[in-house]
Homo-oligomer: A and B are copies of this chain.
Amino acid sequence: MGCSPILIDGTWAEPESTTARFRAHDPATGEALPGEFPEISWPDLERMARAAQGAARELASIDTERIAVFLERYADLIEERADAIVAAADRETALGAEVRLAGIELPRTTGQLRQGAAAVRDRSAGGWSMPSIDAEVNIRSRYEPLGGAVLVIGPNNFPLAFNAISGGDFVAAIAAGNPVIAKGHPAHPETTRLLADAARDAVEEVGLPSGTVQCFYHAPPEDIARLIAHPALAAVGFTGGRSSGLAIKQVTDAVGKPGYFELSSLNPVVLLPSSASADLDGFATGWSTSILMGSGQFCTKPGLCFVIGQEVAEELAEAVARSFDGKPDSILLTGGLVDSIDHGVQALQDAGAMLMAGGATSLEPGFRYPGTLLMTNGRTFREMPDSMQRELFGPAAMIVACDSEEDLLAALRTLEGQLTACVWSAGASDEDHALHDRVQGTLRPICGRLLENKMPTGVAVVPSMVHGGPYPATGHPGFTSVGLPASIRRFAALRCYDGISPARLPSNLV
């Protein structure tokens, strides 16, 4: 079996510049899967950049209806080929074919593509391009495509709904009218290949420029940096881990191009005394379910729970430990993630946290880790905010037992920027309400999405969703990567027409 080709300018082509080959692994067994995929280098990336440049020029004057039709046709093709895509994704991620991949993630993916098509067509209130017309001075403006390609770098944890070739960033970049160069995650290359093939076929059927959608799997960091600096490249969308994201961010910052980074989040949950008294067991069940969901590999996994009182903390820890008990160890996406979470759990203990459940390396085959719970106190947390705010990507979380309301609020004030933050309260008394208000006031500025009596794990794809937040959750607090049309505007330039003749104006500015 030969090495897979890459998608350049509408064609599945042999790379000219393969520097290495790699295989994905079955996370359930740890064994390498059969297909080989190429790590490419600059000559192939430059070919992609050139093709994307041509596509960007053509897309600037295309009837946008064709972009909408493409997004819909691509969704249709994914559905037609769903069995193969889901089977490949399950082999490469072990996330579960029926429930998670076929039942939830694939419909979400096609739903996002179709919402993107609707956003392209939507002219109500101007849609995503927000046209503004000052007719008396003949000045007009709107958001437009960037005029170059968007490099989308996809994460490991959602092989379909966040895949670089089919996920939210892809939809947003294409809906704005930009070509996409997709770098699929090397943990699920066959899934990416199948999706890219459907995208390619849809591009061809609909007659979009052949360089509209291109795809590769792996390249050395210095070549990715060179691609980002290339004039054909206009922006980057990245979802993944903090350290690799920050390395890419340095590159986009240095060349002055917009980069959107979803980097990390602990998603703090604050359990107020009223809620702890009302139904601690119910809360514990909901929280532990959220911790284990997707093997804990959600950006929105609630990784920290703040409570007031040592007794409550211990009771909660026991309930969570009970609910972990007897559950099989979670299968993680890669062996590296097992090492990383194990290292993180150890580092937190070294910094003073206590291990309440799990934490031992799994004895089963493949990439596994048990449901794991740590506990610390408010003072330790706020005195070592850097050590204590360590993201554990996988089925692990920590309770922070605070002494008092003041201790709680002081600890919350040391939190970094987050995607989400939740307050749980059954408050009926004025005192409960007053504390709730203070906690909400403290959490509101540091998170993109604030929740009440609700776990953050689900991310509804609706216009008002914000999947974003202040650094280091993302690179900019003014954007969201989920929710249309807002996510589209990340990949758009604001452009003004001053004194331009009617015949030379875009149609929605006349």
Binding site for B on A (CB under 8 A): 56-57, 60-61, 125, 132-134, 137, 139-141, 143-144, 146-148, 249-250, 253, 255-258, 417, 420, 436-437, 440-441, 444-454, 456, 460, 462-466, 468, 470-472, 475-480, 483, 486, 489-490, 492-501, 504
Contact = CB atoms under 8 A, between A and B. Distances in A.
A466 B500 contact: no
Given A134-B462, A139-B460, A253-B253, 9 more contacts: A141-B464, A141-B486, A147-B470, A256-B471, A450-B498, A451-B499, A451-B500, A468-B494, A470-B493
A346 to B, nearest CB: 27
A452 to B, nearest CB: 5
A118 to B, nearest CB: 15
Residue of A253, A255, A420, A496 with highest tally of chain B CB at under 10 A? A496
Contacts of A448: 493-496
A501 to B, nearest CB: 6
Contact of A450 (B476, B486, B490, B500): B500
A345 B127 CA distance: 46
A492 to B, nearest CB: 6
B441 A139 contact: no
22 contacts: A60-B444, A60-B445, A61-B441, A125-B125, A132-B486, A134-B463, A139-B462, A141-B480, A143-B478, A148-B445, A249-B253, A256-B471, A258-B478, A447-B495, A448-B494, A448-B496, A449-B495, A451-B500, A452-B499, A466-B494, A466-B496, A477-B493
Nearest to A253: B253
B437 A504 contact: yes
Nearest to A419: B496
Contacts of A446: 147
B495 A466 contact: yes
A494 B449 CA distance: 9
B480 A133 contact: no
Most chain B CB atoms below 10 A, which of A256, A470, A489, A490? A256
A139 to B, nearest CB: 5
Contacts of A492: 478
Q: Can you list the 6 inter-chain pairs with the closest CB atoms, starting with the nearest?
A: A256-B471, A147-B445, A466-B496, A253-B253, A477-B493, A132-B464
Nearest to A473: B256
B141 A256 contact: no
A484 B381 CA distance: 43
A92 to B, nearest CB: 31
A33 to B, nearest CB: 37
A462 B499 contact: no
A386 to B, nearest CB: 13
B257 A471 contact: yes
Which of A61, A137, A417 counts the most chain B CB atoms within 10 A?
A: A137
Chain A interface SS verdict (over half): mixed
A146 B477 contact: yes
Contacts of A133: 464
A270 to B, nearest CB: 14
A499 B454 contact: yes
A456 B500 CA distance: 13
A202 to B, nearest CB: 26
Contacts of A441: 57, 60-61
A499 B453 contact: yes
A472 B256 contact: yes
A317 B493 CA distance: 35
Contacts of A444: 60, 144, 147, 495
Contacts of A253: 249-250, 253
Contacts of A57: 441
Nearest to A501: B452
A460 B137 contact: yes
Contacts of A490: 478
B494 A480 contact: yes
A480 to B, nearest CB: 6
Contacts of A480: 141, 494, 496
Nearest to A250: B253
A255 B477 CA distance: 13
Nearest to A417: B256
Contacts of A462: 134, 137, 139
Nearest to A413: B231
Nearest to A478: B494
Contacts of A249: 253
A135 to B, nearest CB: 9
A296 B464 CA distance: 46
A478 B471 contact: no
A478 B450 contact: no
